[in-house]
Chains A and B, each alone.
Chain A
Amino acid sequence: MLKPIDVLMVGVGGQGTILASRVLAQAAQAAGYDIKVSEIHGMAQRGGSVVTQVRLGEKVYSPLIVKGGADILLAFEKLETLRLLSYLKKDGVLIVNDQAIDPVPVLVGAAEYPPNIPEYLRNTVPGTLVFDATEIAGRCGTAKAANVVLLGAMARRLPIERAIWGKALAERVPAKLLEVNRAAFAAGYELG
Chain B
Amino acid sequence: MKELLSGNAAIARGAIESGVTVAAAYPGTPSTEILENLALYPGVYAEWSPNEKVAVEVGIGASLGGARTLVAMKHVGVNVAADPLMTFSYIGVNAGFVLVSADDPGMHSSQNEQDNRHYARFAKIPLLEPSDSQEAKDMVGLALDLSERFDTPVMLRTTTRVSHSQSLVEIQDPQPRKLKSYVKDIKKNLMLPTYARPRRVALEKSLAGLKEYSESSPVNRIEWRDRSLGVITSGISYQYVRDVLPDASVLKLGFTNPLPEQMIRSFAAGVQKLIVVEELEPFIEEQVRAMGLALAVKGFIPYTGELDPGILAAALVKAGIIHSTGGIAKAGYDLAESPAVPARPPVLCPGCSHRGVFYALRQLKLNVSGDIGCYTLGGLPPLEAMDSNICMGASIGVAHGIGKANPALDARTVAVIGDSTFLHSGITGLLDVVYNKGNATVIILDNRTTAMTGHQQHPGTGRTLAGDPAPAVDLEALVRALGVKRVRVIDPLNLAETEAAIKEELAAKEPSVIIADKPCALLTKAVQPAVRVDAQKCTGCRICTRIGCPAISIKDKLAQVDAAVCTGCNLCLQVCREGALVKGEEKHA
Partner-B contacts on A (CB < 8 A): 3, 12, 25-26, 29, 34-43, 45-49, 60-64, 66-69, 79-80, 82-83, 85-90, 92, 102-115, 117, 120, 124-125
Contacts and interface: CB of A to CB of B under 8 A. Distances in A.
Interface string B512-549: 00000000001000000000000000000010011010
Given A36-B165, A109-B554, A67 B329 contact: yes
B382 A66 contact: no
A94 to B, nearest CB: 9
Contacts of A80: 344
B545 A108 contact: yes
B168 A82 contact: no
Interface string B284-313: 000000000000000000000000111001
8 contacts: A37-B165, A48-B346, A61-B238, A66-B328, A68-B330, A69-B328, A83-B341, A92-B332
In the A-B complex, the 4 residue pairs with the smallest Cβ-Cβ separation, listed nearest first, are: A114-B339, A68-B330, A111-B342, A68-B332
A45 B29 CA distance: 14
Contacts of B374: 46
B552 A29 contact: no
A86 B332 contact: yes
B424 interface: no
Nearest to A36: B167
Nearest to B548: A104
Contacts of A12: 344
A40 B159 CA distance: 12
A11 to B, nearest CB: 10
Given A40-B160, A40-B164, A48-B345, A29 B333 contact: no
A136 B542 CA distance: 35
Contact of B161 (A34, A63, A115): A63
Nearest to B244: A62
A111 B374 CA distance: 24
Contacts of A124: 333-335, 337-338
B343 interface: yes
Contacts of A114: 339-342
B87 interface: no
Contacts of B37: none
B308 to A, nearest CB: 5
Contacts of A46: 346-349, 374, 377
Given A35-B168, A37-B166, A47 B346 contact: yes
Interface string B448-484: 0000111000000000000000000000000000000
Given A66-B309, A104-B347, A109 B330 contact: no
Contacts of B405: none
Nearest to A123: B337
A1 to B, nearest CB: 9
B550 interface: yes
B167 A43 contact: no
B377 A62 contact: no
B242 A103 contact: no
A51 to B, nearest CB: 11
B90 interface: no
Contacts of B4: 25-26, 29, 35, 37
Contact of B343 (A61, A66, A103, A113): A103
